[in-house]
């Protein structure tokens, strides 16, 4: 009788420990899920990615792997870097929460869709829709064929529409803070979708500007980040302007293996514009269907977006209207100068 009691007690303790373990996992998965995202276990995602075998992207905070769910949906699995979590645990946790909250709460055809997450102890993982054509960076700078002109225009319009949603339409207005080709993803139809919201900044009700530490990627960061000024959605407009010029010319803003006067893309583009040689920007590209007037319009939009003075930059809504050709565009000041006057010509 005594032995039976001991066995029963041992079995009860083992059962309670098992339940506690399962409850802990359940709690970890559901403790931050206010909007009903699907919680995945680490085991599920390890199986879906075959042990995180196929890497499709890498950023400052995490590595992205391709996977397939049980229902055969292709997914992109972003796993937060272990090293980053150890060195900056608070920032890592903040990046994870921010991205989850922003993407899950906002739905737009030009924002990447978040399916779910894994939050088991040290495992911080986000699960997105898979974008079969990778990033804009891949298509612009790493492919051999390049992008057709009509696709480049389509991608720019889609990116601008995604930013318009973030800046003016969603309930809590959002500054993305890191618009660049790596963070614009392309689906099977080359529909552009903005991704990577880990360092985004949410604006409060009636708030248009905010003070925050500099964030973003060098080359795409607006000048006000370095001037301890309050920042606004205009930092995204600046980044979009840099991206726009890169898309037009299919090259990065800074390139060293070119003539000296072409190293800085914005300076070279402005010089070509000033001397009526815009065709030189695209002479090595496949640009069937491109009209010179359309090229000039897009270049002028880029110049307006990268004005040093944020108050000179147009809103993303106006940028979209200018790209679509529904509003007149005046000739902007040289974005490389401090001049505040604008030209009287228009296109």
What pLDDT does 330 receive?
A: 94
Region(s) of the chain under CATH 3.30.200.20? 34-129
- Nearest 5°: the CA angle 66, 68, 71 is 160
Q: Which CATH number fits domain 136-324: 1.10.510.10, 1.20.1250.20, 3.40.50.11540, 3.30.565.10?
A: 1.10.510.10
Residue 306's nearest CA partner among 251, 249, 256, 236 is 236
CB 312 within 8 A of CB 339: no
Q: Is the pLDDT of residue 337 over 50?
A: yes
Residue 238's nearest CA partner among 299, 306, 302 is 306
The percent of residues in the chain predicted with pLDDT above 90, rounded, is 56
Confidence of residue 29 (pLDDT cuts 50, 70, 90): very low
Enumerate the H helices of the chain as residue ranges: 2-30, 42-48, 82-87, 89-105, 136-137, 149-164, 234-249, 265-274, 292-305, 316-324
Region(s) of the chain under CATH 1.10.510.10? 136-324
- Nearest 5°: the CA angle 33, 34, 39 is 25
Residue 111's nearest CA partner among 174, 66, 203 is 174
Please, what is the average pLDDT of the chain? Answer: 85
Tokens of 48: 């879906």
| pLDDT tens readout for residues 184-242 | 999 999 999 999 888 888 887 777 877 777 888 999 999 998 887 888 999 999 999 99
Question: Which residues, 6 or more positions from 336, have their beta carbon under 8 angstroms from its beta carbon?
Answer: 264, 266, 267, 270
Question: Which residues, 6 or more positions from 150, have their beta carbon under 8 angstroms from its beta carbon?
Answer: 289
Catalytic residue among 119, 178, 196, 236: 178
Tokens of 234: 């205009």
Residues forming beta bridges with residue 35, ordered by sequence position: none
Rounded mean pLDDT, 297-316: 97
Active site residue 267: no
The pairs formed by 257-264 with CB atoms below 8 angstroms and a separation of 24 or more are: 264/336
Q: Output Rg (C-alpha) for the chain, integer angstroms.
A: 24
What pLDDT does 158 receive?
A: 98
Q: Is the pLDDT of residue 25 over 60?
A: no
Question: Which residues, 6 or more positions from 92, have their beta carbon under 8 angstroms from its beta carbon?
Answer: 61, 80, 81, 84, 85, 124
Confidence of residue 50 (pLDDT cuts 50, 70, 90): very high
Rounded mean pLDDT, 145-158: 92
The CATH code of the domain at 34-129 is 3.30.200.20
Rounded mean pLDDT, 266-276: 95
What distance in Å separates the CA atoms of residue 157 and residue 109, rounded to the nearest whole number? 12
Tokens of 177: 């803070």
What pLDDT does 26 receive?
A: 46
| pLDDT tens readout for residues 236-252 | 999 999 999 999 999 99
Helix 149-164 vs helix 234-249: crossing angle, to nearest 10: 170
CB 144 within 8 A of CB 303: no
Question: Which residues, 6 or more positions from 187, have their beta carbon under 8 angstroms from its beta carbon?
Answer: 129, 131, 132, 133, 193
């Amino acid at each position: 009788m005594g032995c039976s009691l001991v066995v029963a007690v041992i079995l009860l303790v083992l059962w309670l420990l098992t339940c506690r373990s399962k409850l802990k996992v359940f709690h970890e998965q559901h403790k931050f899920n206010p909007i009903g995202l699907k919680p995945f276990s680490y085991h599920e995602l390890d199986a879906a990615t075959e042990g995180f075998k196929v890497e499709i992207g890498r950023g400052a905070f995490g590595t992205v792997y391709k996977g397939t769910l049980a229902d055969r949906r292709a997914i992109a699995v972003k796993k937060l870097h272990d090293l980053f979590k150890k060195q900056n645990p608070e920032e890592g946790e903040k990046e994870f929460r921010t991205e989850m909250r922003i993407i899950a709460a906002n739905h737009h055809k030009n924002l990447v869709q978040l399916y779910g997450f894994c939050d088991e102890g040290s495992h911080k993982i986000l699960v997105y829709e898979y974008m079969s054509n990778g990033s804009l960076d891949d298509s612009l700078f790493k492919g051999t064929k390049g992008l057709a002109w009509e696709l480049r225009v389509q991608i720019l319009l889609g990116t601008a529409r995604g930013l318009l949603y973030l800046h003016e339409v969603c309930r809590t207005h959002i500054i993305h803070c890191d618009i660049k080709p790596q963070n614009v993803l392309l689906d099977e139809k080359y529909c552009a979708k903005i991704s990577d919201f880990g360092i985004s900044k949410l604006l409060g009700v009636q708030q248009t500007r905010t003070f925050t530490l500099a964030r973003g990627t060098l080359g795409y960061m607006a000048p006000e980040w370095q001037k301890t000024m309050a920042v606004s959605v205009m930092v995204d407009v600046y980044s979009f302007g840099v991206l726009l010029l890169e898309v037009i010319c299919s090259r990065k803003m800074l390139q060293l293996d070119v003539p000296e006067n072409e190293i800085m893309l914005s300076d070279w583009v402005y010089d070509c514009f000033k001397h009526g040689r815009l065709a030189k920007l695209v002479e090595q590209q496949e640009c069937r269907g491109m009209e010179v007037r359309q090229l000039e319009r897009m270049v002028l939009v880029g110049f307006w977006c990268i004005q040093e003075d944020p108050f000179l930059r147009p809103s993303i809504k106006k940028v979209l209207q200018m790209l679509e050709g529904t509003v007149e565009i005046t000739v902007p000041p040289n974005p490389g100068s401090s001049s505040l006057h604008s030209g009287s010509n228009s296109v």
